[in-house]
Structure formats: C-alpha cells, structure tokens
Amino acid sequence: MAEPIFARVALVGAGLIGSSLARAARDFGAARAVAILDASPDVMARVRDLGIADEASGDPAAALKGADLVIICTPVGVCGAVAEQLAAYLEPGALLSDVGSVKESVVAQVAPHVPPGVHFIPAHPIAGTEFSGPDAGFSTLFQNRWCILTPPGDADPAAVDRLARFWTRIGARVETMSPEHHDRVLALTSHLPHLIAYNIVGTADDFGEDTRSEVIKFSASGFRDFTRIAASDPTMWRDIFLSNREAVLEMLGRFNEDLSVLQRMIRRGDGQGLHDFFSRTRAIRRSIIEQGQDTAAPDFGRRK
C-alpha cells in the first residue's frame, strides 16, 4: 500500500462521520495511527470495544500528541468550544480541519482559536446517512462522494494539497470553493430537502391516530424516502439550520414562491403547465444519474 499521508489523525467526535473516518484512515492506509476523542464517556467506551482507534483514552493531550491531522467531527454548534479546548494541545505545523455541513459559521467559530503555525482548512464530505453514533460508521462511506474544501485565501497550498490527498485516499472526489458559496449551494441541495422532509413527516404526524396508521401502512416510496431523511439526528440538524440561517431562509423563500406556482396550476387545472414543469425536473434527475451521482442507489445508507 502507498505511504500514509499523515503520521497520526486525531478525530474529535466519534459519531457516524468520525468513526467512518477512523475506519477509512486505517483501511485505506491514509494515516499510520488513529486517535479518537469524544466528550461522551459512553461513546469512548464503545470506541474502545469496537477497536477502531490506536489511542482512545479520552485525554485530549494524549489524543493530540503527535497528531499532524486533527479533524473536528462534532455537531457544528460546538465546533468553536471544541477548538478552544484543543488549542493548547495542537502540535506546531499540524493541520486542523472539520467535517461540518455548514462552513461560514464553523470558520467564524474556529478561526479565532487556531494557534499560529497551525493550518486550518475546513472540509465537508457530502456523504452520510440518517444514522448516527460510532456503530453507524463504515470505511467505504466516502467512496465516490464529493468532499468540499474551503481553504482561507492565505492557506498554505502544500497543506491544502495534503488534506486533499487524504480525502482522495479514502475514496472521495475533492473540490475547493469559498465558505459562502458552499453554504448557498448546500442550503439548496441538502439543508432545504431535509427541512422539507422534516416538515412533511411532521404534517403526517399531525393527523389523527387513524390517518397516521394508514400513512404508515400505505406509505409509498415517496413518503418512505422522506421518513428516512426525517430520521436524521435532531442535534446535528438543529445546529445546521441555526448556523446557515440566511442561506436557508433565502432558499426557502424561493421554494415557497415556486410551490405557489404549482398550487395555482393545480387550482386552474393547468395540465400543460404541470406537465412542462415535471418534464423539466425529470431531465435534471437524468443528468444527475448520467454524471454517476445517484446517491439514492438502493444500497445507499447501508453499512458495507
């Protein structure tokens, strides 16, 4: 196997993403050693049982000792507090990164705590499932998925390249963009769809008991897909919506306008309008599949 890219990766937060990174770094030889640090004693105990880290004592100094890559894998709302707690233990020249689903807010929270000589390069793998916790992770989660890096303008190109090689080694395709652009794109492609899923499942749940059981019994694939998304972690998604408020509200405004157009077509019996609209959206689906990015493949979200 090719040389590891980092001597030691320390993963802070060992849920779905942190534990997947631990497994992937080992299975694909991206780091020589893996350390895990999680605020929850239960999670730390589970990490030890699973045997997915070389260092899992729960002590920040021990976890970060010799780590040339440290990745914050906690919900985005606590990234700043985590960075503040880690700052004193970061090795000079280390690369600090994260996996948060929102980037501007993470940069604002973390950057003030980054010691001089430490390279901070935020990242976001567009890969996940509705499951959370250390048991949910698997090493192939990042295969053929995008990982977006949002390096600051003055980032060391060698550090950016090294982080990109790490993600490529564990199977991801890497792209670089600004945090602002990332947050607008993801507001539309990930955050708004999750909000819609939470809302439609909530709407179904608001019906009386009879209707609710019928919804479950006859749930066709459209509704079932929404229930999968709406089963995603409440803490993680609360933090995403609060951290990407402006972009999500903008996309929600556009969404509501477009929904009103569809509503009017139905009310007016405008079959041609509906058919034209649905033909346009069907073409988008086809182009996603042609680009090999059908994340709704039948085995998506299952452990491999």
Ligand X SMILES: O=C(O)C(=O)Cc1ccc(O)cc1
Ligand Y SMILES: NC(=O)C1=CN([C@@H]2O[C@H](COP(=O)(O)OP(=O)(O)OC[C@H]3O[C@@H](n4cnc5c(N)ncnc54)[C@H](O)[C@@H]3O)[C@@H](O)[C@H]2O)C=CC1
Binding-residue total with ligand X (CB under 6 A): 9
Nearest approach, Cβ of residue 34 and ligand Y (Å): 15
- Do residues 91 and 69 lie in contact, with contact meaning Cβ atoms separated by under 8 Å? no
The residues, any chain, with a CB within 8 Å of residue 87's CB and separated by 6 or more, are 113, 114, 115
Strand order in the sheet with 123-125: 123-125, 146-149, 173-176
Nearer to ligand Y, 18 or 151 (CB): 18
Nearest approach, Cβ of residue 232 and ligand Y (Å): 7
Chain centroid offset of residue 106 CA? 13
75 touches, from ligand X, ligand Y, none (C-beta below 5 to 8 Å by class): ligand Y
The beta strand positions in the chain, using DSSP E, are: 6-12, 31-37, 69-72, 95-98, 119-120, 123-125, 146-149, 173-176
- Do residues 60 and 35 lie in contact, with contact meaning Cβ atoms separated by under 8 Å? no
82 touches, from ligand X, ligand Y, none (C-beta below 5 to 8 Å by class): ligand Y
Nearer to ligand X, 23 or 129 (CB): 129
- Do residues 50 and 80 lie in contact, with contact meaning Cβ atoms separated by under 8 Å? no
Using CB under 6 A as the binding rule, whether residue 75 contacts ligand X is answered as no
Length of the chain: 304
15-74 residues near ligand X, rule: CB under 6 A: none
**Phi, psi dihedral angles at 159 (to 5 degrees):** -70, -40
Q: Per-residue x/- marks for ligand X, 172-191, CB under 6 A?
A: ------------------x-
Out of 128, 137, 171, 179, which residue is the one contacting ligand X (CB under 6 A)? 128
Nearest approach, Cβ of residue 229 and ligand X (Å): 6
Using CB under 6 A as the binding rule, whether residue 101 contacts ligand X is answered as yes
Using CB under 6 A as the binding rule, whether residue 97 contacts ligand X is answered as no
H or E element that contains 193: helix 192-206
Using CB under 6 A as the binding rule, whether residue 229 contacts ligand X is answered as yes
The residues, any chain, with a CB within 8 Å of residue 224's CB and separated by 6 or more, are none
Nearer to ligand Y, 100 or 151 (CB): 100
Residues near ligand Y, by CB under 6 A? 12-18, 38-40, 43, 73-76, 78, 81-82, 99-101, 125, 127-129, 132-133, 233, 236, 240
Residues interacting with ligand X, by CB under 6 A? 101, 126-130, 190, 229, 301
